[in-house]
Amino acid sequence: MTEIRDDVFERFLKIKDTTRVKIRFNDTDAMGIIHFKNYMVYFDDGFVSLMDNIGHPRRIEDVIKDGIGCGVKHVDITYEAAARYGDYIIVESQIKNINSNSITFHHEIYKEQDKILLARVDCTRYFIDLKNNELIDASEFLLTFTKLDDSS
């Protein structure tokens, strides 16, 4: 990994994305709160939003439609407080670690109204070429997808 790339990765690690998610009634459960399963969807929204705002004209959705699979290898999530129907939540996302095999994203999920922290998440993802089911070099993918190295 060259010095130039380290510099590029430094820039990736500084990017912060914030997205807003509206909680649906069917996200709740009989305890009256958002079921823990649904936070998987919320930080996935954060991942998509981060990738879409990372500096490339193509949306990650279109890249995925074109045959790049994005899998999840590991999730570590700590639930700090409960949210309810009618709340809006804020997902703050950033890249925590970049490896050749995977990228780890860190997400913090807040209730918009009172900024109460709902959950902290580390999620490690990998990328595969669905045509041959081969793992894609994650750092290469990030560089290619974002074209951030063109500008360095």
Let me know the angle formed at the C-alpha of 37 by 31 and 43, rounded to the nearest 5 degrees. 125
Q: 87 and 112 in contact (C-beta within 8 Å)?
A: yes
Q: Which stretch binds its own copies (CB under 8 A): 4-12, 84-92, 109-117, 142-150?
A: 84-92
Report the C-alpha gap between 95 and 115 in whole angstroms. 22
Tell me: does residue 1 bind its own copies (CB under 8 A). Answer: no
Per CB under 8 A, contacts with its own copies among 54-83 are 59, 61-62, 64-65, 69, 71-79, 82
Q: 83 and 75 in contact (C-beta within 8 Å)?
A: no
Tell me: does residue 31 bind its own copies (CB under 8 A). Answer: yes
Tell me: does residue 132 bind its own copies (CB under 8 A). Answer: no
Tokens standing for residue 125: 């993802």
Give the binding site for its own copies (CB under 8 A): 24-26, 28-33, 35-37, 40-41, 44-45, 48, 59, 61-62, 64-65, 69, 71-79, 82, 84-86, 130
